[in-house]
Chains A and B, each alone.
Chain A
């Protein structure tokens, strides 16, 4: 089953998409977007894993004594987490504005334009 983690990442992504499409509340939709994004963490870390590998930190590990997992994708996952958190904050701020201006946070009731 050496492809299972990749499939898990895909499954998390699709679960998030399902949540966004069926959402009845914008905060819930933002949460589902965070679920979609977390699938990318699983994918990145799965790509970088090496059997028997440990963290690529050499403060208490003699270099070369053990295999280490891929540090490049770990750094990418860090970037991913930071960007995900800030985008979530920005979207939640937008949701607050929508709630104030339109009096609803149900995406289905926000279909008409209002000027």
Chain B
């Protein structure tokens, strides 16, 4: 298809979609309206189970099964990336050379690393109380580890980051979520139902029944998944090179 024809098809399709979206928007309930039946029921259910962060309650209690699906998508995407970015036969691994880092960068990265790590763990642990949770905290934890790459070099990062271990951690996080689900089933109620543990005291760390445990499982999986993902991309950028004398060029 020529570029010109493609632009025409795009213009016609885009205008059609724009018209449909505008028509749909005009029929939606007005922005900022007071009618949120699902939201009100979700808040009530969350308070009944003494989870002060309603979003954590929706994700890990009321819609826990959907979160299992979401977690599985994350798991599958990591698996796909690991398979796609493996070292192929015509590539070789080179040892990255030690790099010099400017002293202030090194200093601040190394000071920030434990702070960021602790912040990530805090966000995971307080997911049922305050904004945050396993998904957000997991990303913060994984990012904290990579401050070592900025503050020192790739070799230092590789020493504290055995990728195999994090791959196991990824799978263990996913498995822990499933096991907590099955535990609900064994405990005489439904899969992933929040009936296993006492709901605790409102607004304390141990409140919300299984919500903190599911949060921790997700936090572990997300942290490990992001570390594995970044490791694969960084390996491609830093370590893996095309062997000399092979066919087509790298095209970068």
> Quick one: closest B residue to A6, CB to CB?
B25
Q: Is the interface of A mostly helix, strand, loop or mixed?
A: helix
Nearest CB of A to B32, in Å = 4
B43 touches A86 (CB 8 A): no
Total A residues in contact with B, Cβ cutoff 8 Å: 54
**Residues from 41 to 79 in A contacting B, C-beta threshold 8 Å:** 46-51, 55-59, 63, 67-75, 78-79
CA distance A67 to B201 in the complex (A): 23
A10 touches B25 (CB 8 A): yes
Known A90-B81, A104-B251; contact A50-B34, beta-carbon cutoff 8 A: yes
B contact residues around A102 at 8 Å (CB) = 248, 251
B131 touches A82 (CB 8 A): no
Nearest CB of B to A100, in Å = 7
A contact residues around B18 at 8 Å (CB) = 10, 14
B contact residues around A104 at 8 Å (CB) = 251
> Quick one: closest A residue to B248, CB to CB?
A103
B contact residues around A89 at 8 Å (CB) = 77-78, 81, 229, 233
A contact residues around B25 at 8 Å (CB) = 3, 6-7, 10
> Quick one: closest A residue to B237, CB to CB?
A96
Return the contact of A68 from the options B39, B59, B80, B251 (Cβ within 8 A). B39
- Chain A 1-33 interface 0/1 with B at a Cβ cutoff of 8 Å (1 = within): 011111100100110011001100000000000
Other A-B contacts than A2-B32, A75-B58, A96-B236, 6 sampled, CB-CB below 8 A, are A57-B55, A78-B55, A82-B73, A86-B78, A89-B81, A100-B250
Chain B contacts to A: CB under 8 angstroms: 6-7, 10, 14, 17-18, 21-22, 24-26, 28-34, 36, 38-39, 42-43, 46-47, 52-55, 57-59, 63, 66-67, 70, 73-74, 77-78, 80-81, 84-85, 88, 129-131, 135, 202-203, 222, 225, 229, 232-233, 236, 242, 248-252
